[in-house]
């Protein structure tokens, strides 16, 4: 039986290693053995889709929750999901989570002494359109301390989870904001070896996306792995 082609590998220097001395939580969690390379077969070329559980209207607006309006600087985040060949990835779900404007997550384990916002859950979902485009509204997340080292602060960031077309293209990442002075000090951001790759995690401010009198606009594209040009061996 012929299988469709596999997917390209993760780019060298473009992703963090498992073990990162500056990020303390990796010390006891990074495997000591190198991962075993797997040739792509149906297991990796296929992958899950959110067939029965698509984002509902309103999940793209994090600024309204429980009948009220979240505090903070309203922002629009928009962009596209593409593969390495520049092809749009349509109909893929993006899951979103973040801290509130004060730098606090609505999560029982977050003990940072910053106020919770009863009107901000910090959770959203969107699905890309036929052009691979997505858009959602939220408030700019605050920075927060995280005890990784003395005086450690996470830069402002939004978490994203997406699947793409296959098991091989699964991606969880974080988006950062331009000009944040904490970026140079953050072990998680700096875990990506190549500077140019790190910079791909920083959104771009865009006055065209900005809504007059209402919300600042940012652009952020996700690029997932493209397909191999030749069939998988065998």
Partner 1 sequence: MSPLQTPSQTVGPFFKPALIRSGNESLVTSNSRGERITIEGRILDGDAAGISDAMIELWQANADGRYDHPDDLQEKLIDPEFHGFGRAATDELGRFRFHTIKPGSATGPGNLLHAPHINVSIFARGLLKRLVTRIYFPGEQLNATDPVLNTVAPGRRSTLIARIENADQPGILRFDIVLQGENETVFFDV
Q: List the interface residues with partner 1, window 71-110 (CB under 8 A).
A: 82-86, 95-97, 99, 105-107, 109-110
Per CB under 8 A, 10 contacts partner 1: yes
Question: How many whole angstroms separate alpha carbon 230 and alpha carbon 34?
Answer: 26
User: Measuring CA to CA, how many Å separate 205 from each of 174, 177, 195?
Assistant: 16, 8, 19
Euclidean distance between CA atoms 108 and 9, whole angstroms: 37
Element (H, E) at 196: helix 195-199
Q: What is the size of the binding site for partner 1 (CB under 8 A)?
A: 88
Going by their DSSP bridges, the two strands 216-219 and 74-83 should be labelled as parallel
CB of 65 to partner 1, least distance (A): 12
- Cβ closest to partner 1, residue 3 vs residue 214: 3
Does 131 engage in binding with partner 1 (CB under 8 A)?
A: no
Torsion angle defined by CA atoms of residues 170, 131, 226 and 202, in that order, rounded to the nearest 10 degrees: -70
* 181 interacts with partner 1 by CB under 8 A: no
Least gap, CB of 115 to partner 1 (angstroms): 16
Interaction between residue 136 and partner 1 (CB under 8 A): no
Residue 58 lies near partner 1 (rule: CB under 8 A)? no
Which residues is 159 bridged to in the sheet?
97, 174
Taking the CA of residue 158 as centre, how many other CA atoms within 13 Å lie in the half-sphere pointing to its CB? 28
Determine if 145 is a binding residue for partner 1 (CB under 8 A). no
Q: Which of 116, 133, 173, 206 binds partner 1 (CB under 8 A)?
A: 173
Supply the residues annotated as catalytic: 105, 144, 154, 157, 159
Which residues between 150 and 169 bind partner 1 (CB under 8 A)? 159, 161, 165-168
Helix (H, G, I), strand (E, B) or coil at 25: helix
Site pattern 187..216 for partner 1 (x: CB under 8 A)? -xx-xx---xxx-xx---------------
Question: Which residue among 171, 182, 185, 216 contacts partner 1 (CB under 8 A)?
Answer: 171
CB 98 within 8 A of CB 144: no
């Amino acid at each position: 039986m012929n299988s469709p082609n596999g997917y390209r590998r993760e780019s060298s220097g473009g992703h963090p290693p498992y073990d990162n001395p500056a990020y303390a939580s990796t010390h006891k969690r990074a495997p000591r053995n190198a991962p075993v390379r797997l040739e792509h077969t149906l297991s990796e070329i296929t992958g899950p889709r959110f067939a029965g559980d698509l984002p509902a209207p309103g999940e793209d607006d994090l600024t309204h929750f429980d009948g009220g309006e979240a505090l903070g600087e309203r922002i629009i985040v928009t962009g596209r999901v593409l593969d390495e060949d520049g092809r749009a990835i349509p109909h893929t779900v993006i899951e979103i989570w973040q801290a509130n404007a004060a730098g606090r997550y609505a999560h029982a384990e977050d003990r940072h002494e910053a106020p919770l916002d009863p009107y901000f859950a910090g959770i959203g979902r969107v699905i890309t359109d036929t052009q691979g485009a997505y858009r959602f509204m939220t408030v700019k997340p605050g920075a927060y301390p995280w005890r990784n080292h003395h005086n450690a602060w996470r830069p402002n960031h939004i978490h994203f989870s997406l699947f793409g077309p296959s098991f091989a293209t699964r991606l969880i990442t974080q988006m950062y904001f331009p000009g944040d002075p904490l970026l140079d000090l953050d072990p998680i951001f700096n875990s990506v070896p190549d500077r140019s790759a790190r910079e791909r995690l920083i959104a771009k401010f865009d006055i065209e996306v900005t809504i007059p009198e209402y919300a600042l606009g940012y652009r952020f594209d996700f690029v997932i792995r493209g397909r191999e040009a030749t069939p998988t061996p065998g």
